[in-house]
């Protein structure tokens, strides 16, 4: 700088201090990216093992447990899943060589046969360059996808038929968007039906129900039943009376009051069902009392009554706002008598709790227990007597989180500095169109 012909040199100490500050920012950012790679790896494993069961999705669990916003949580899960098939990109992020922002962008379009080319571009350019490349890449993809989408639409179909043993068989081919919708609905239903009973990673006793859960196929079948029940609950066919969809169970009064008593508990024109199932269904249903003589002939038929009157049901729904089982997010459910009405329990608001289909079964048929405490709160216990908390305990955080992060990366063999993630771009104009023509396998002749 020159003032009145006098050249004034900048003070070297503030410049060196600013350079040191900039290097520290760049190095810490690389440490965060390397730690993010580990976080995504953990999320992927947690998602694959369905540790988030009890929530609609892994993203919903991250929002609840970690405090991420819904959009950020969904992106974390998407990127974590994508990196499972992109080992080179995953390794570069783990070494802090590319930022999470770049990885988030290229995983939208990368495939195993293109990841090396896209990773080279990400190393050379800035995050803004990568975003522009991905936008152009997706434009080329859309042209090919439109043709494939029309072919898939024509090949769609679904077939449902009853097998010789009475079971129903479902076979079909769905378009990607319909299949994804169905899969997401099944995932949400499975999460509602089969939540975790303890924090992931803790030991489960051998005789605990969680130690021998239903197979994935069995869980999918149960989830489909919940979807059908939900659709009918919301009057998918409002023109037909509710009677059309009723399931009728015949059960002896003694069995209804005490599952250990002998007697009948059968579906109409169908097989026997456990007494616990009859008790669960009778918690919130219409009931007709029939009296029989010694020969089994009907001598008296009472009027049909609702176990829970409509006005009381509305009050229950308004109070509970959804299933009360800890961690469950299902917004509708069935009225559960904490003390069953057949055993003398009153049909009053204080003796009722709203439970979803899955958790209502857990309480009646799987050994879970629910009691109302003197202060009005509900307490849920596992078959072994463990109390299920509504909110898990917060994770411990070290006093110096930055040093702990650096130490963790060093322990994993990742040594970072201010130049680790620096792109090789020198400020020249970037021709994204030319980059797509060179990198995209379908770009030839597309323009």
Closest of 359, 397, 438, 365 to residue 133, by C-alpha: 438
Q: Please give the residue that has the higher pLDDT: either 178 or 142.
A: 178
* Region of poorest pLDDT, from 52-66, 137-151, 241-255, 377-391: 241-255
pLDDT at 246 over 70: no
- Answer positive or negative: Cα dihedral of 203, 207, 210, 213: positive
Question: Are the C-beta atoms of 227 and 186 separated by less than 8 Å?
Answer: yes
**Domain spans in the chain, listed from the N-terminal domain onward:** 10-154+412-439, 245-381
pLDDT in tens, 42-66: 999 999 988 876 566 888 888 877 8
Provide mean pLDDT across the span 58-76.
84
Rounded to 10 degrees, what is the CA torsion of 199, 200, 205, 209? 90
- What residues are paired with 7 via a beta bridge? 2
CA angle 244, 249, 252 (to 5 degrees): 150
| Structure-block tokens of residue 169 | 């068989």
Long-range contacts of 411-415 (CB under 8 A, 24+ apart): 412/34, 412/38, 414/34, 414/94, 414/95, 414/96
pTM metric for this prediction:
0.47
Model pLDDT for residues 106-150, shown as the tens digit of each residue: 999 888 988 998 998 888 888 888 888 888 887 776 665 556 556
Beta strands in 148-261 (DSSP E): 157-162, 168-173, 249-251
Tokens (6 digits) for 18: 């600013």
Whether pLDDT at 262 is above 80 = no
- Give every CB contact of residue 70 below 8 A, 6+ residues apart in sequence: 59, 60, 63
Pair of tokens at residue 289: 């009392």
User: What does DSSP say about strands 352-355 and 369-372: parallel, antiparallel, or unpaired?
Assistant: unpaired
As a whole number, mean pLDDT of residues 97-103 equals: 91
CB 302 within 8 A of CB 289: yes
- The length of the chain is 447
């Amino acid at each position: 700088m020159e003032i009145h012909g006098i050249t004034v040199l900048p003070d070297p100490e503030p410049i060196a201090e600013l350079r040191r500050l900039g290097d520290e920012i760049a190095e810490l950012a690389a440490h965060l990216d390397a730690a993010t790679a580990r976080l995504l790896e953990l999320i992927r494993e947690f998602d694959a093992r369905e540790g988030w069961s009890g929530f609609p999705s892994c993203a919903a669990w991250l929002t609840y447990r970690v405090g991420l916003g819904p959009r950020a949580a969904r992106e974390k899960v998407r990127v974590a899943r994508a990196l499972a098939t992109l080992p080179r990109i995953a390794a570069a992020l783990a070494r802090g060589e590319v930022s999470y922002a770049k990885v988030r962008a290229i995983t939208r379009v990368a495939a195993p046969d293109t990841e090396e080319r896209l990773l080279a571009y990400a190393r050379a350019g800035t995050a803004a360059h990568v975003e522009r490349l991905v936008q152009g890449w997706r434009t080329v993809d859309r042209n090919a996808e439109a043709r494939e989408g029309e072919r898939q639409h024509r090949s769609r179909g679904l077939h449902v038929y009853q097998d010789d043993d009475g079971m129903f068989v479902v076979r079909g081919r769905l378009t990607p968007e319909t299949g994804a919708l169905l899969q997401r609905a099944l995932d949400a239903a499975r999460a509602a039906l089969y939540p975790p009973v303890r924090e992931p990673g803790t030991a489960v006793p051998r005789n605990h129900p969680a130690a021998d859960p239903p197979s994935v196929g069995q869980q999918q079948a149960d989830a489909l039943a919940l979807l059908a029940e939900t659709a009918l609950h919301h009057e998918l066919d409002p023109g037909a009376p509710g009677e059309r969809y009723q399931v009728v169970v015949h059960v002896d009064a003694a069995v209804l009051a005490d599952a250990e008593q002998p007697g009948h508990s059968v579906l109409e024109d169908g097989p026997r069902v456990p007494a616990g199932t009859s008790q669960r269904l009778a918690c919130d249903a219409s009931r007709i009392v029939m009296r029989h003589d010694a020969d089994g002939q009907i001598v008296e038929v009472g009027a049909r009554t609702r176990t829970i009157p409509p006005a009381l049901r509305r009050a229950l729904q308004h109070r509970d706002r959804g299933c009360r089982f800890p961690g469950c997010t299902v917004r509708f459910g069935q009225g559960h008598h904490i003390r069953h009405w057949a055993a003398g329990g009153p049909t009053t608001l204080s003796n009722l709790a709203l439970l979803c289909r899955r958790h209502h079964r857990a309480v009646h048929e799987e050994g879970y227990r629910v009691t109302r405490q003197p202060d009005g709160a509900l307490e849920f216990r596992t078959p072994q007597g463990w109390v299920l908390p509504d909110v898990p305990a917060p994770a411990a955080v070290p006093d110096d989180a930055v040093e702990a992060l650096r130490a963790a990366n060093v322990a994993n063999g990742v040594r970072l500095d201010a130049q680790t993630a620096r792109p090789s771009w020198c400020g020249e104009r970037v021709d994204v169109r030319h980059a797509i023509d060179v990198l995209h396998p379908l770009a030839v002749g597309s323009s």
